[in-house]
């Protein structure tokens, strides 16, 4: 079910439907976390952060990604760290101003 919700979130992002993308991504995230699937959880969180951009809340998307990035760095999860760095870069490059972009790069 987590993978199906993830696919729905991806499709919604592609269709520029931030509300549906965020809803599906966060539901998918919860299921991946319950299954202790860190790879799936990181992917779902990346989608949720990008969905926030579509919902006109890039700052919240950036906050989500940075919070998870810190957790990944703390736990030594290199794959999760890479995924969250990608999420930070995507959100920052897509919607934030120059100052926020520079701050995101130093995360």
Q: What is the pTM of this model?
A: 0.80
Query: Which pLDDT value is given to residue 97?
Result: 61
Proportion of the chain in helix, strand, coil states, percent, rounded to 5: 85, 0, 15
88 close to 65: Cβ distance less than 8 angstroms: yes
| Higher per-residue confidence, 82 vs 56 | 82
| Mean pLDDT calculated for residue range 34-61 | 91
Domains and CATH numbers, the chain: 2-105 (1.25.40.10)
Reading the block at residue 107, the tokens are 């995360």
Task: Tell me the average pLDDT of the chain.
Answer: 88
Using 50, 70 and 90 to split pLDDT, how confident is the model at 30?
very high
């Amino acid at each position: 079910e987590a993978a199906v919700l993830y696919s729905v979130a991806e499709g919604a992002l592609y269709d520029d439907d931030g509300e549906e993308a965020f809803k599906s991504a966060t539901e998918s995230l919860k299921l991946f976390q319950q299954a202790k699937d860190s790879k799936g959880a990181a992917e779902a969180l990346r989608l949720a952060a990008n969905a926030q951009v579509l919902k006109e809340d890039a700052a919240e998307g950036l906050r989500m990604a940075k919070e998870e990035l810190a957790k990944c760095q703390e736990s030594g999860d290199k794959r999760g760290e890479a995924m969250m760095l990608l999420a930070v870069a995507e959100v920052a490059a897509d919607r934030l101003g120059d100052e926020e972009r520079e701050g995101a790069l130093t995360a």
